[in-house]
Chain A
Amino acid sequence: MIHSLFLINASGDIFLEKHWKSVVSRSVCDYFFEAQERASEAENVPPVIPTPHHYLLSVYRHKIFFVAVIQSEVPPLFVIEFLHRVVDTFQDYFGSTNVGDQLPTGQLSVVPWRRTGVKYTNNEAYFDVIEEIDAIIDKSGSTITAEIQGVIDACVKLTGMPDLTLSFMNPRLLDDVSFHPCVRFKRWESERILSFIPPDGNFRLLSYHVSAQNLVAIPVYVKHNISFRDSSSLGRFEITVGPKQTMGKTVEGVMVTSQMPKGVLNMTLTPSQGTHIFDPVTKLLSWDVGKINPQKLPSLKGSMTLQAGTSKPDENPTINLQFKIQQLAISGLKVNRLDMYGEKYKPFKGIKYMTKAGKFQVRT
């Protein structure tokens, strides 16, 4: 399994090391640095790198490489998944405002994911149903592929050992799910009810996937007219964003980003609302739109200056879209009720829905 772990920051320093077996010299990371050099970008560094005596398995998060040193055959996902959990834990621990002086104590409880003796003065349980739409929309505006990735994140602060059940109005939607280990799988299989003793605090109760075969409502559309001309060094740029299937809800937090072709020197644009930035170095255009008002659709118009002498780019840029819709789960998933057993007090319960753009791309 994992022999040693090295943490490498953005500037290439090994700033932390940990050895579980004998000490492996940090020079083993040289192989990693070599691979890093070969890959143009951090995210292209291969997750598995063989070296003469070891294998380096790494994950890249928060601009830090977590490099595990392995000596023999092991399922690579075992290591990768573990490293991600380590990062999650770090994030949980250091991310909170006050890093406790006390070292965390491991506690053995009959329910391994929950400590015993939890006490709160305000007992509350919040569940957030968050759905992300991954979609590729083609030039003409038709959907090439669209799917929904949903999660139910929970923040449960309940005294004692509460036993919760969560039921849905339409559980049939959830045909592809993965659970937190606290969920009783059999109960789900037989009754389609989530029954569980929750971990204390924040956790992901389940994630689900509504696949490409189902019809997915697309809440926004983008009208675009981006053209380069061979003869002139000027190009036209015009995009408009509008609501489509929003179930009467407001689309907000809209953000448009696009990677412009290398030949684009500068852009002169006027937005009808929001602010926009074009970075001439990275060629990244971003437009913070804000809310979409269906009466007055936001648009961004203007011209592009192209490098003189170069021919027009082959491909129009892809538009990436971000947005949020409050109080809506686009799949139609609805929580029916949440019940608590095993404890006598009445907890405060809350459910929130939200739809967001995941990897939402419009090809132009």
Chain B
Amino acid sequence: MSGNGLSYGEQGGEAAPELAQEAATTTTPSAPAAFGLFSSDTKKNEDLKQMLESSKDSAKLDAMKRIVGMIAKGKNASELFPAVVKNVASKNIEIKKLVYVYLMRYAEEQQDLALLSISTFQRALKDPNQLIRASALRVLSSIRVPIIVPIMMLAIKEASSDLSPYVRKNAAHAIQKLYSLDPEQKEMLIEVIEKLLKDRSTLVAGSVVMAFEEVCPDRIDLIHKNYRKLCNLLVDVEEWGQVVIIHMLTRYARTQFVSPWKDDEVVEEYSENNFYESDEEQKEKDRKVKNIYTMDPDHRLLLRNTKPLLQSRNAAVVMAVAQLYWHLAPKSEASTVSKSLVRLLRSNREVQYIVLQNIATMSIQRKGMFEPYLKSFYVRSTDPTMIKTLKLEILTNLANEANISTLLREFQTYVKSQDKQFAAATIQAIGRCATNITEVTDTCLNGLVCLLSNRDEIVVAESVVVIKKLLQTQPAHHGEIIKHMAKLLDNITVPVARASILWLIGEYCERVPKIAPDVLRKTAKSFTTEDDLVKLQILNLGAKLYLTNSKQTKLLTQYVLNLGKYDQSYDIRDRTRFIRQLIVPNEKSGALSKYAKKIFLAQKPAPLLESPFKDRDHFQLGTLSHTLNSRATGYLELSNWPEVAPDPSVRNVDVAEPTKEWTGILGITKKEKPMEKFYSESEEEEDECTNTSSSKSESGSESEKEDKEESSSDESSGSSSSSEESSDSESDSKESTANKTSRAAAESSVSEDNKKKAKGIFKKRSTSSSSDTEPTSSEESSPDSKSESDSKSDSESEKSGSATSSKKEEKLVQDRKASNRKDVFLLDLDDFCPVTTPVAVPIAAVLSPSSTADLEGLSLSNSSVIDVTTQISVPTETHELLHRMSGKGLAAHYHFSRQPSIFGDHMVSVQVTVTNTTDQKIENIHIKEKKLPPGMRVHEFNPIEYLEPAGSITVSMGIDFCDSTQMASFQLCTKDDHFNVNIQPPVGELLLPVTMSEKDFKKEQGMLTGMNETSATIAVAPQNSTRLVIIERVVKAANLGVVPSGQDNIHRFAAKTVHSGSLMLVTVELKEGSTAQLVINTEKTVIGSVLLRELKPVLSQG
């Protein structure tokens, strides 16, 4: 905003009312002339003015409500402008809103006065409340005052980079309004559109595409880079935006991809086989079978991402997808949309009307699409006529040899309908079926002849017309019918029908030589009273008879010609003159009359009975132009498919600057992909996850067979992090078998290991930047963590409990390291680190991460970019399950080991440490009577046979919390007693950390915007602002995986929820002045917001 505007705005508040008053006195004298007529109105307006002057908001509000009411009723309220505009700066938001409504209506008429309000809007554009900023922009852009164009332009530019997506959305709306006010601004507006097209918010996408369509629909080059993003965002965009985007993408696709209709054989590029094929192989294949069509993956992306929208409740969205499939999908897939379109027929009359029109057009070209739904188009007597006729149209289009008999039976009912207009349309339809399906021509003809005896004249007339057309196709056999129709002439009065009969008799007069002259005689008698249409046919009949049977009819014809000569209609007189010259030979008539017979009785081609929807297909379906069957203003032609596809690489989005060589701490894999991945499909991702998890559970159960001791949890965590190779888990289980010792020994060794491991974790963390896994001095970072755990744990058992898990892990890491060195085939996808084992890359098996990464660019399949990884930090905090006082000496604590549960992949691992504080043995400790919220499951620990006095034991159990923070309640039982206990998980424990690249993170985040995003700004304690501390604190609070980040001030974390596997993406962005923006993107909005709440204090507390 310009400095001027600002300073003006500051004073505006006080200045405006005074100015307004001044202006009011100057303008009012001219105003009354216009409404002098409505004196009562002006009187009323006086009291409105007074109310507006009042100091009470309630009076003002009442006045404004009445004024807005006047506007809605179409009454003129413009003379109140000065009084109203004063209130634009009102503090009362209700009044303000109504003043805005008034301004939008009258500002254009009273431009000078309207300018007085501008400063208020300019100020509101800076308001901290996004709603006010947005509404100020909305009103500002709705005031159609050309002087403020520069101010609007500035405001739009500013709003387009507003932090609030809602304001940016309004900026997109304002673009269209400004463009319609001043098309000169086009170039500048395109710049803003280009910028907003890059916006990742689902809120903005629909609006900016709308602006694009309005301002610069020909600039498809602006779409290239945003194409994939738009496809991916589409599902989450609001309904109206979806319609606009789908229509735009339909046009786009028709310019960018080659036709999928050329060949029947379609090879999908993303098909399974190609996944394993290298680039060369693919090319070779292409060379071999040159003609095989390969669909561009981006083309496929569009088709796939729009398909779910067929389930939308919005008819416009369903129709938009249907037309997209019609215009873009391979023919074999077009029928995907039929079911959904048929569903829309249950909707309102207006929706039915449009949908039926579109189906009518489709059913001409591709009958098969709607044939299975034939009965859905059956007509009900209660349908409005326009719906009936459209249904009939479709039924006729769908008629074929197989269903014609059913259809004709149905048509018979329709012919009898009380709605005669519809009955007539049915007769037409029967005629069309008769010509299209030769097998039933005779049946139809007989049926129609029966209708000739119908009492309703409209029905009979329509039948005559249709029969006439049918007879033309095969006149030879139908002398009888013609005779029958000649008889009808006495009764029938409808001109079209009479004309048709006369034409028929004239045309085939040689087949009915006795009747024809008689008909002429009768009609000559009634000539003067006939309709013009009939008169013409009488003349025709006379002429034809004169030529074939002049003996009998010469005089009659001349009589008719004389009548025609003096007819009132020049058309008839004209025709009479023409016929006379042609058939009656005299000196003047030239050579032409020799050919009179040939001219009149030439073989005439039978008329084609066609659908009125035949020619509509050149309009894009679903458009206004298609409905009207004529080009509407602003209709954009759908281009033909290009012969050769334009360069597809224009849609590639530049890879973000290669991130700094900062490998995730603790050996978290950082996968750098050589090429931009085309796109990910969450479905495939999910598949992959289930693969992983199934291998997990397999190995888990295997190990359970081998040993049912706690050591199995150790081993399973190892196997679970190895996602694909079974060899790994095998080796692990071998190890664990080897580890099998007596229980006590195992216990101690485990805890011993854990201690080591805890150290190892921090060792690694400290050395991560050098990406060297060689353990170095552990003292650097571990002390503080140790001290922390010390301070928090107060009982001996707790300490050992917490140590248990952390130690296990270190052992694991070491084991893996060892195995890596030994055998390259034991490559672990997660722990794979190119720096430590560079040799492994090229030799690795087909599925090694590097080669999959290579393939990602080529194939469409999404390789394992998002893997569940091992936990980074294990919380030392334990929670009390049962206090020794209430447990009669039995104490129990639990903590979350953060390892994938061995009991099932939806379960959270919980380690329970039971301690005997009595001086007697406690026997048979087990779990009973689970009281769980629906869906929740608990896998209990194996009963503990006995616990020695002062003894303590740690057991693990699995709980499926269903991704909720609800309590799991159960009874902890001993031989003699039972105690009610419950476990409530902190939200951070409902997650499993995952690894992914920064790019994937951003992409996933892009797909989880809008309502899937929660954010907060927090204060960060100064000592917490270093990378290591932030990571340490965050991963401690929640079981998150660290995602490498290219920027120093942004830290990213990722996890999946244990139960549903939904991604949970956490971003911490440090800002100036020790604040940070905390953003969480997840489909699980509830958990997301709880997590946000829990993470806030983590960073702000010192």
Contact = CB atoms under 8 A, between A and B. Distances in A.
Given A112-B238, A181-B239, A181-B313, A161 B1085 contact: yes
Given A149-B346, A180-B313, A75 B144 contact: no
A77 B933 contact: no
A15 B69 CA distance: 11
Contacts, number: 220
A176 B243 contact: no
A110 B628 contact: no
Nearest to B312: A178
Contacts of A161: 1085-1086, 1089
Contacts of B386: 44, 46
B765 to A, nearest CB: 34
B73 A15 contact: yes
B373 A211 contact: yes
Interface stretch (A18-26, A217-225, A234-242, A295-303): A18-26
A136 B409 CA distance: 14
Contact of B1083 (A15, A41, A84, A184): A184
Given A50-B628, A80-B315, A73 B633 contact: yes
A363 B384 CA distance: 18
A73 B964 contact: no
A78 B630 contact: no
Contacts of A15: 73
A292 interface: no
A16 interface: yes
Q: Which of B372, B381, B386 has the most CB of A within 10 A?
A: B381
B634 A212 contact: no
A58 interface: yes
B131 A108 contact: yes
B97 interface: yes
Contact residues on B (Cβ < 8 Å of other chain), bracket:
35 or more
Given A106-B131, A110-B1011, A181-B239, A44 B385 contact: yes
Interface in A314-364: 314-315, 318, 320, 337, 339, 341-342, 344, 359, 361, 363
B628 to A, nearest CB: 5
B682 A75 contact: no
B343 interface: yes
A77 B385 contact: no
A46 B238 CA distance: 29
A164 to B, nearest CB: 11
Contact of B376 (A19, A77, A145, A342): A145
A139 to B, nearest CB: 9
Interface string A172-201: 000011111100111101100000010000
Nearest to A47: B350
A161 B1083 CA distance: 14
B382 A41 contact: no
B14 interface: no
- Determine chain A's interface SS by DSSP, over half rule: mixed
A64 interface: no
A110 B236 CA distance: 13
Interface in B928-963: 933-935, 962-963
A76 interface: yes
A163 interface: yes
A97 interface: no
B313 A179 contact: yes
A213 B372 CA distance: 8
Given A16-B72, A48-B628, A21 B180 contact: yes
- Determine chain B's interface SS by DSSP, over half rule: helix
B166 interface: yes
B678 to A, nearest CB: 20
Nearest to A181: B239
Nearest to A77: B316
Contacts of B455: 311, 314
A58 B627 CA distance: 14
B74 interface: yes
Nearest to A112: B1011
Given A16-B73, A21-B180, A211-B376, A163 B1086 contact: yes
A268 interface: no
A207 interface: yes
Interface in B456-471: 456
A115 interface: no
B636 interface: yes
A111 interface: yes
Nearest to A209: B343
Interface stretch (B30-38, B618-626, B699-707): B618-626
Contacts of B921: none
A86 interface: no
Given A41-B384, A75-B247, A84-B348, A207 B313 contact: yes
Interface in A22-76: 22-23, 26, 41, 43-44, 46-48, 50, 55, 58-61, 70-76
Nearest to B311: A178
A59 to B, nearest CB: 5
A281 interface: no
Given A47-B354, A50-B628, A78 B243 contact: yes
B351 interface: yes
B216 to A, nearest CB: 15
Nearest to B636: A73
A147 interface: yes
A196 B808 CA distance: 39
Contacts of A361: 380-382
A17 B72 contact: yes
A35 B340 CA distance: 31
A81 B316 contact: yes
A295 B376 CA distance: 35
B542 to A, nearest CB: 36
A114 B375 CA distance: 40
A204 B347 CA distance: 14
Contacts of A72: 632-635
A259 B381 CA distance: 9
Contacts of A206: 313
Interface string B308-349: 100111111011100000000000000000011011001011
A44 B628 CA distance: 16
A148 to B, nearest CB: 10
B382 A359 contact: yes
B821 to A, nearest CB: 40
A76 B627 contact: yes
B624 A22 contact: no
A318 B238 CA distance: 43
Contacts of B247: 75
A108 B130 contact: yes
A145 B378 contact: yes
Contacts of A78: 240, 243, 316
B417 interface: yes
A320 B177 CA distance: 50
9 contacts: A16-B74, A50-B630, A78-B316, A102-B94, A110-B1014, A187-B1060, A207-B313, A315-B417, A320-B381
Given A72-B633, A176-B339, A197-B1085, 19 more contacts: A15-B73, A48-B354, A73-B633, A73-B634, A75-B320, A76-B622, A77-B351, A78-B240, A80-B316, A80-B350, A84-B348, A103-B97, A109-B1011, A110-B1014, A161-B1085, A163-B1084, A209-B346, A315-B416, A339-B962
